Amino acid sequence: MENIANENIFIDEAENLAINAVIKKGIIDYNSPFFGSNPSQPFTIYIKDIKSDVIAGLTGFYKGKYTRVDLLWIHEDFRHQGLGRKLILKLEEFSKIKGCLYIQLDTFDFQARPFYEKLGFKCIGTISKWVEDRDCHFMRKTLS
């Protein structure tokens, strides 16, 4: 083990892609005996309007038997028109093709928990008063 008596600790108040890559590789290498060496695969599913502007989309990754949604967004002018449902249904189709058995995501109390529940997601845990005193719900759907 290397002596770190003279370590320097840094804070970057912006995303540092080079350092993030080192950290990501380190945790992937550490985790590989437990989860295998296949890295997670990122994806983006999105909808464009007739002018080719992105009006809705979701981002995430899949690995092994699960899919993780990081972000889901719908432009304010296009909400309540079924686009979120269409994105989730496309995600389910994509996840099944990739061999995934379930989808996981999280949502704050002011966001979309009832929306996800209508689509078959179950709340599997909650962190109360997390960010800005808002509850964060962790949700999962088992694919059939």
Q: Is 18 inside any structural domain? A: no
Task: Give the pLDDT of residue 40.
Answer: 87
- The share of the chain scoring above pLDDT 90, in percent, equals 75
User: What is the reported pTM?
Assistant: 0.82
- The share of the chain scoring above pLDDT 70, in percent, equals 96
Q: Is 23 inside any structural domain? A: no
Q: Say what the alpha-carbon torsion angle 84, 88, 93, 95 is, to the nearest 10 degrees.
A: 140
The tokens describing 91, both together, are: 């995600």
Residues in the chain: 144
Q: Is 80 inside any structural domain? A: yes
Tens of pLDDT, residues 66-111: 999 999 999 999 999 999 999 999 999 999 999 999 999 999 999 9
| Helix extents (H) in the chain | 17-35, 83-97, 113-118
Q: Is 101 inside any structural domain? A: yes
Q: Between 108 and 6, name the one with better pLDDT.
A: 108
By residue range, what is the domain housing residue 83?
A: 39-142
CB atoms within 10 A of CB 30: 10
| Counted domains in the chain | 1
CA 54 to chain centre: 19
Q: Is 133 inside any structural domain? A: yes
Q: Is 100 inside any structural domain? A: yes
Q: Is 19 inside any structural domain? A: no
Q: Is 14 inside any structural domain? A: no
Look over the chain and give the mean of its residue pLDDT values, rounded to a whole number: 92
Domain CATH for 94: 3.40.630.30
